[in-house]
């Protein structure tokens, strides 16, 4: 079925990185608008579809090597049809942002950010193409979760901005610290397309494990700084809960710098995303404590695991099998 093929190409499992922070930001803001939450989630879904399908179109050369199943789905639907679909989705997104702006009386800064996210996502695959740029991973990965938390919070206006800014900065730093772990299985395809990822730079650097551990430690340092400088006692100290996830950062640094086979590099990608989602959940509960935040965090993790198994277009490695293989290598 073509519809199912298109749904799989949207890679909706990554909504786990954007919907939970938006939900927590919106429900935790001082003056939430009940209409902003569903309309914003719909906009995030459209943005996900634009980004993912656009990436499938522009990355055809790389995907022929790294993700042939994805290319097969694209060819089944047809690349011209997918490009036409992206154009229609962009128009639908702009119309939805206009509806939000009027119905929710959005703060002008929020409107600018919604449009900016579209421009950045579109530029990643088309136009000037941000992907080959060295700053794109920090700009896009970092902005995904932090930007949506910030957007959720400021929808009704800039109020109690310490939490909004702290959440945006912390989550932005987290996403930008992943050192291209998502590109771990794509080394050969990226090379064929003339793209050199920061992950490859890491592997060829001096003492890669120490460098990876230092970079992955950045959000924890930022959490301490925000706790002391921005939020102060009480709300600020809750950000230190993020340190409970730090052992996963060290484990990811080891996995990134010791992966030698395609299956192990696939594990790095999956581990990186799972680590991100776990950190995201802890950070959201720290920023806005309560049952809604916990539900959003757990819901995001469950969504990622379920859709990875049922709807993701690329083969997803069995984490238990890869952990067993890695244990054997350590031994």
Name the region of 64 (left: φ>0; alpha: ψ -120 to 50; beta: rest).
alpha
Residue 269's pLDDT is: 86
Across the range 19-26, mean pLDDT stands at 96
d(CA 42, CA 30): 22
Percent of the chain with pLDDT over 70: 82
* Secondary structure (DSSP) of 80-94: HHHHHHHHHHHHHHH
* pLDDT tier at 298, thresholds 50, 70, 90: very high
Question: How many domains is the chain partitioned into structurally?
Answer: 1
Residue 153's pLDDT is: 93
For 52-96, write each residue's pLDDT tens digit: 999 888 878 777 777 788 888 888 999 999 999 999 999 999 999
Cβ-based neighbours of 63, under 8 Å, separated by 6 or more: 56, 70, 71, 74, 189
Q: What is the largest CA-CA distance in the chain?
A: 61
Distances (CA, A) of 13 to 36, 87, 205, 306: 22, 22, 32, 8
Q: Report the predicted TM-score, pTM, of the whole model to 2 decimal places.
A: 0.89
For 193-243, write each residue's pLDDT tens digit: 556 667 677 777 778 899 889 889 999 999 999 988 876 666 678 889 999
Nearest to 22 by CA among 42, 7, 46: 42
Percent of the chain with pLDDT over 90: 46
Enclosing domain of residue 108: 2-330
- Of the two residues 141 and 105, the one the predictor is more confident about is 105
Across the range 269-289, mean pLDDT stands at 93
* pLDDT tier at 32, thresholds 50, 70, 90: confident
Residue 175's pLDDT is: 87
Tell me the CATH number at 239. Answer: 1.10.600
Tell me the torsion sign for CA atoms 287, 292, 295, 301: negative
């Amino acid at each position: 079925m073509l519809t199912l093929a298109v749904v799989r190409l949207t890679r909706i499992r990554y909504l786990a990185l954007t919907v939970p922070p938006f939900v927590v930001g919106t429900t935790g803001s001082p003056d939430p608008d009940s209409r902003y939450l569903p309309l914003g989630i719909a906009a995030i879904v459209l943005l996900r579809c634009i980004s993912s399908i656009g990436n499938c179109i522009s990355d055809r050369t790389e995907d022929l090597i790294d993700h042939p199943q994805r290319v097969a789905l694209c060819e089944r639907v047809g690349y011209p049809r997918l490009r036409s679909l992206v154009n229609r989705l962009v128009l639908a997104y702009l119309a939805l942002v206009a509806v939000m702006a009027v119905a929710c009386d959005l703060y002008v800064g929020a409107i600018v950010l919604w449009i900016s996210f579209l421009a950045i996502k579109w530029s990643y695959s088309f136009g000037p193409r941000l992907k080959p740029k060295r700053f794109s991973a920090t700009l896009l990965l970092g902005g995904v979760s932090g930007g949506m938390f910030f957007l959720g919070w400021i929808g009704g206006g800039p109020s109690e901005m310490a939490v909004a800014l702290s959440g945006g900065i912390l989550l932005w730093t987290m996403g930008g610290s992943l050192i291209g772990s998502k590109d771990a299985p794509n080394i050969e395809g990226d090379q064929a397309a003339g793209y050199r990822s920061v992950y490859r730079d890491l592997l060829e650097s001096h003492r890669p494990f120490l460098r990876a551990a230092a970079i992955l430690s950045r959000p924890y340092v930022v959490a301490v700084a925000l706790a002391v400088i921005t939020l102060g006692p009480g709300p600020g100290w809750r950000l230190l809960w993020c340190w409970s996830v730090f052992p996963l950062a060290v484990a990811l640094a080891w996995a990134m710098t010791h992966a030698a086979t395609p299956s192990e590099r696939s594990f790095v990608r999956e581990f990186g995303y799972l680590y991100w989602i776990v950190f995201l959940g802890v950070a959201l509960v720290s920023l806005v404590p309560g049952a809604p935040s916990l539900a959003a965090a757990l819901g995001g993790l469950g969504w990622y695991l379920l859709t990875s198994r049922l709807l993701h277009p690329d083969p997803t490695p069995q984490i238990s099998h890869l952990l067993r293989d890695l244990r054997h290598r350590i031994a």
